[in-house]
Structure 1
Amino acid sequence: MFRTDVQNTLFDVAVVGGGLAGLATAMRLQAQGRSTCVLEAHGHAGGCAGYYRRRGFAFDVGATTLVDFEPGGVGAELFAATGMPAPAVERLPGYVAWLPDRTVVLHRDQARWRDERLRRLGDSPAHRAFWGQLDRLADVFWGASRAGVRMPMRTLGDVVHNGRTLRVRDLPLARHVGGTLGGALRRHGLRDDDPLVGLLSMLVEDTVHSTVDRAPLINAALGITIRGAGLSRAAGGMRGFWQALVRHYKSKGGRLYCGWRATGIAGRAGDFAVHGPRGTVRARQVVSALPVETTAALSEVPGVRAALEPFVRRDAGEQGGAVVVFLGVPEDEVEGRSFTHHQLLRSYREPLGDGNNMFVSVSSPGDLASAPAGHRAVMLSTHTELAGWEDLDEAGHAERRDKLAALMIEEARRVYPRLAERPVVREVGTPREYARYTSRPRGAVGGVRQSPANANQHAVPHDLGVPGFWLAGDSTWPGLGTVACVLSSRIVADGALRRHRKAERARRHVRRAA
């Protein structure tokens, strides 16, 4: 049970879900003098960008790198806003994409990347025009995203705010909001260019969980260029990153309650109640950093479920899963490569997923927080359709899991020929494990597959119109991944602060009138 002092505390904001969106929102509010708590169902914070430990190894279970945590970037803004010293990181030079017939290095250095993509993927006028359009969109909308552009626009204030995030000369680019990446490729005559489309397909599946033909053009442009915003790996991987965030949050007076699973959210603005087996937490405002369908199921707050049900129905078929092979191996199995991160495509003709588009992440040499001396932690991850893992008995699930893991290891041997010959740890996570350990419905990870029908102006709003109740995370604008979650936390924290100030003014007015 909770201590009596906790149950008798009225927090300014209770955040349900200790993933990156949830903890970042709480950090921002705590830094502004608001009293906050984060309620996390599992043993430590992290969510789908977290980690777990086994036999001296620390494995990243989702994100393995940090993007845009450089000076001037999204992550750096979070640190500045919360007074947090930037954690120790290794600046990665990029990573290697292994296509069926060539390799392409996605350099951090933008001049080298521009040269590499033309040299390895085609230097025709059409290629140059296509990349030029993508770069222009990315430059403009990265700037708008960092400036806090709000989507979906629901008020005149949103329209005015968003107009200020774009320069007048850039406003015509807004016409691309309804376009797709496939449409742009067709306009340039490049839709049948296998190497180009193969690389872009991998990048948009990883960043907007979509296909080339369905991915919104602007979102795809941001996802494709995201590595240029700066790629880094925290010392100790995601474990080291989360330890730094939690330590800072607690040092500012924030309260993190792990092993605290919410079973219901009730009440109204000024007096919400988050119920769980360990007791009830009361707060003036609530932020749900859980998936939309989970929030809808938990909420007893008038108006929330009705507001979310259309989005739940719309996106029911747009969820995806992941399979990850976790390997703790002797260091000599992964030596000989200057890059520690790689992405592999086995075939241009087969659908992506289940090993065809696989990311390989290896902990850095000497990172003893991730692996014992003389060893390295390796994560092999691929997307998968959820339906293929459902209705399997234990034997059927084990057979499919082991077959796919063997395929993934064999594919990764294109990069590291001796990988997993003598593993100290060899474990596999499937949607069934993600459902068990993250409580994500069906084991879905990340947000929904983005398309013009559910992104941007059609995204799930942070503010449902229910005073004091907010949504944060990768099911809302701007979408998927760690960068999106940090941007989402800024929008939600700003809204919660405005609400808090308005409520305080109202209370002062009542006191003066009395």
Structure 2
Amino acid sequence: MVSTRRPPETRRPRPARFPVSCQVAVLGGGLAGMATAARLQAAGVSTVVIEAHGHVGGCAGYYRKRGFSFDVGATTMVDFEPGGVGAELLDSVGMEPVPGERLPGYVAWLPDRELVLHRDTRAWHRERLRALGDTARHRAFWAELDRLAHVFWDASRAGVRLPMRRPSDLVHNLGAIGPRNLPLTRHMNTTLGQALSRHGLRGEAPLVGLLSMLVEDTVHSTVDRAPLINAALGVTIRGAGLTRATGGMRGFWRRFTEHYRTLGGQLRVGCAAQSVHGRAGAFEVLTSRGVVHTEQVVSALPAATTARVVPALAAPLRPYLQRDEGDLGGAIVVFLGVPDDEVSGQEFTHHQLLQDYARPLGDGNNMFVSVSAPGDTDSAPPGHRAVMISTHTELADWEGLTAGDYERRRRETGERLVGLARRVHPNLGERARVWDVGTPRTYERYAFRPRGAVGGARQTPSNANQNAIPHSLGVPGLWLTGDSTWPGLGTVSCALGSRIVAARALKAARRTAR
């Protein structure tokens, strides 16, 4: 019999036994948590990441089955181009860019037309006028959106801080936005729907349909509720650059986790944070595997979970949780492992589909189809591709079901989504080697999201930007980051939030050391 044990020099060191001590304990190994820990570790602050799942990633994670690797949430990395928020993260921790497919854009399939959301800005400008209208009103609307996007992408990359809690935040933000762009902040409480109405375009079904899809995917809101500035950023993510890592999110996380460990960071997976007690400089984090002693704690868990695990933050978080409870949503994802010829007839690997202008979005009316790149054998066996079909859903629709009713709804929903995706790939799923469907119950069970809610609250002027959950609720040594805090949703937001929190935790650590 051939031994399968690794040679001694290649075996991973056994994790240290509990109890463990560090300067900063990070709760949650999603992108916000891992990015915060890596930034601190690279700056010389010792960290431990505590993750309940068997591997890191959270809602930007993955799972494997029969040789396929599927992304369970985010399928692309946003703004990892030179100068971008994601690239700044990698630079700050001394990590090389992650190899992957640099998407040239993706196709939007509207009920009565198709258009390509090109990465190239000039091509996108031509395409949107061709497909959605080329009048003075259209041009004025797009010019306004473009200016907002340009200014606030730059401000985001400069690390703008919200909500502002102290004079230093105001001074920093003035520098990030620039005095000449300060008048644009008047749009903080404006919605995308109001901007469309102001330009006389609220009744343009194709334009509103496309924008609705884009803002639901990026700020999880509707045209009439989405903050205009946030919507402008969401609508332009294709221009900020989308990249699918080789191997999908698993490929990204393999590299990022290895680099974090190389920096000296400690990672505890399969280890649930149960409670946090103590004070700044002397916290105890009780986990399912023992106690972590730490000077500071960063919670990258959902806000509701943070309130349960960290009693000191329960009361400060309560008003935010009550405010946002009705704005939580879920997701459905179909995972297919298929032969290459079922998806090889399209130039683009990513597509977004809207079925009906008049129906509410979600449950298949707005869905995203992501396909691994040809030849990406880290995502699929040779000759095959990994396919993810995702759509939003209401949490209540999946609650209170019997086991039989749940399985029936899950199966029927999966079949319907695959059927709708056949508009792009006519033979999709006919010879699938893997066919799985994830629902809010799946995210609750495997990603430990309360009720299966993903992505944080749907953004509106009343809960975003200056009204967002802050990174500090006034309890020394305790910090929050992730999709429940500013700036909110998506990988780029988590990377930006990690930058803010890591800077503050680093400052506190240096003050303690003195």
TM bin, normalised by shorter chain, reads: over 0.9
- In structure 1, what is the Cα distance between the partners aligned to 2:240 and 2:67? 32
**How has the CA–CA distance of structure 1 residues 429 and 5 changed in structure 2, closer, same or farther, with 3 Å as cutoff?**
closer
Amino acid at match of 1:416: H
- In structure 2, what is the Cα distance between the partners aligned to 1:56 and 1:366? 14
Following superposition, the deviation at residue 48 of structure 1 comes to 0.3
Residue in 1 aligned with 2:108?
97
Following superposition, the deviation at residue 402 of structure 1 comes to 1.5
Q: What's the RMSD between the two structures over aligned residues?
A: 1.0
Match of 2:117 among 100, 106, 115: 106
Q: Tell me, yes or no, if the aligned pair for 1:7 and 1:282 is still in contact at 8 Å.
A: no
Following superposition, the deviation at residue 410 of structure 1 comes to 0.8
Superposed CA offset, 1:9-37 (max 9, x none) = 42010000000000000000000001001
Amino acid at match of 1:75: G
- In structure 2, what is the Cα distance between the partners aligned to 1:324 and 1:30? 34
- In structure 1, what is the Cα distance between the partners aligned to 2:384 and 2:177? 48
Following superposition, the deviation at residue 370 of structure 1 comes to 0.6
Residue in 2 aligned with 1:424?
433
The 3-state SS of whatever aligns with 1:238 is helix
Residue range with higher mean Cα deviation, 14-23 or 493-502: 493-502
Residue in 2 aligned with 1:184?
195
Residue in 1 aligned with 2:3?
none
Q: Tell me, yes or no, if the aligned pair for 1:267 and 1:300 is still in contact at 8 Å.
A: no
Q: Tell me, yes or no, if the aligned pair for 1:342 and 1:359 is still in contact at 8 Å.
A: yes
Following superposition, the deviation at residue 5 of structure 1 comes to 5.5
In the alignment, does 2:169 pair up with 1:158?
Answer: yes
Superposition TM-score, scaled by structure 2 size: 0.96
Residue in 2 aligned with 1:476?
485
Residue in 1 aligned with 2:68?
57
Match of 2:340 among 331, 354, 359: 331
Long gaps (5+) in structure 1: 506-514
- In structure 1, what is the Cα distance between the partners aligned to 2:379 and 2:147? 38
Following superposition, the deviation at residue 305 of structure 1 comes to 1.2
Match of 1:397 among 389, 406, 414: 406
In the alignment, does 2:422 pair up with 1:413?
Answer: yes
Superposed CA offset, 1:225-262 (max 9, x none) = 11100111101111100001001000010011100001
Amino acid at match of 1:34: V
Residue in 1 aligned with 2:7?
none
User: Quick one: percent identity of the two aligned structures?
Assistant: 65
Residue in 2 aligned with 1:24?
35
What is the correspondence of 1:383-394 to structure 2 with a 5 Å cutoff? 383-394=392-403
Residue in 2 aligned with 1:34?
45
Residue in 2 aligned with 1:449?
458
Count, aligned residues: 501
Residue in 1 aligned with 2:228?
217
In the alignment, does 2:242 pair up with 1:231?
Answer: yes
The 3-state SS of whatever aligns with 1:130 is helix
Match of 1:253 among 264, 277, 292: 264
The 3-state SS of whatever aligns with 1:295 is helix
Superposition TM-score, scaled by structure 1 size: 0.96
- In structure 1, what is the Cα distance between the partners aligned to 2:111 and 2:31? 35
Residue in 1 aligned with 2:321?
312
Q: Tell me, yes or no, if the aligned pair for 1:6 and 1:281 is still in contact at 8 Å.
A: no
The 3-state SS of whatever aligns with 1:316 is helix
The 3-state SS of whatever aligns with 1:326 is strand
Following superposition, the deviation at residue 6 of structure 1 comes to 4.8
Amino acid at match of 1:251: T
In the alignment, does 2:309 pair up with 1:298?
Answer: yes
- In structure 2, what is the Cα distance between the partners aligned to 1:58 and 1:190? 42
Superposed CA offset, 1:302-350 (max 9, x none) = xx11111110111111100000000001111111111000000000011
Match of 2:160 among 149, 155, 165: 149
Residue in 2 aligned with 1:124?
135
Q: Tell me, yes or no, if the aligned pair for 1:265 and 1:272 is still in contact at 8 Å.
A: yes
- In structure 2, what is the Cα distance between the partners aligned to 1:169 and 1:279? 53
Amino acid at match of 2:386: A
Q: Tell me, yes or no, if the aligned pair for 2:214 and 2:234 is still in contact at 8 Å.
A: yes
Q: 4+ residue runs of structure 1 moved beyond 3 angstroms?
A: 3-9
In the alignment, does 2:82 pair up with 1:71?
Answer: yes
Q: Tell me, yes or no, if the aligned pair for 1:67 and 1:232 is still in contact at 8 Å.
A: yes
- In structure 2, what is the Cα distance between the partners aligned to 1:239 and 1:135? 33
